[in-house]
Amino acid sequence: MFTRCLAQEVWSDGITVNELVPGPVHTDLTEGVFIANALHPSFPSEWVKTADDVAPLAVFLATQGPNGPTGQSFSLARRPMA
């Protein structure tokens, strides 16, 4: 709801606001907890992403400009189905 409210608040200024929900991501800080490209240790419906998995969506959203999507949630959570 915060994303939607903020998007409405700044829309007239040509600013877009979106939420990117990556789910679990393997990083230097999480390497003791997560294994990249493996299932989440507690939630088998989640897969552990790498920065390379998240970056394309982040770049896409960042390059859309004022006519792009706003007030939306984009999720990479959930594992791909085989």
At residue 16, φ and ψ (nearest 5 deg) are -105, 150
Kindly report the CATH number that applies to the domain delimited by 2-75.
Answer: 3.40.50.720
pLDDT-above-90 percentage for the chain? 67
**Whether the predicted pLDDT of 80 surpasses 90:** no
User: For the chain, which residues make up each domain, given as ranges?
Assistant: 2-75
* Residue 77: exposure state from Cβ atoms within 10 A (0-12, 13-18, ≥19): middle
pTM of the model: 0.78
Least confident of 6-10, 13-17, 45-49, 67-71: 45-49
Percent of the chain with pLDDT over 70: 95
What are residue 25's DSSP bridge partners?
A: 49
pLDDT tens for 13-50 read 999 999 999 989 999 999 898 988 888 888 888 889 99
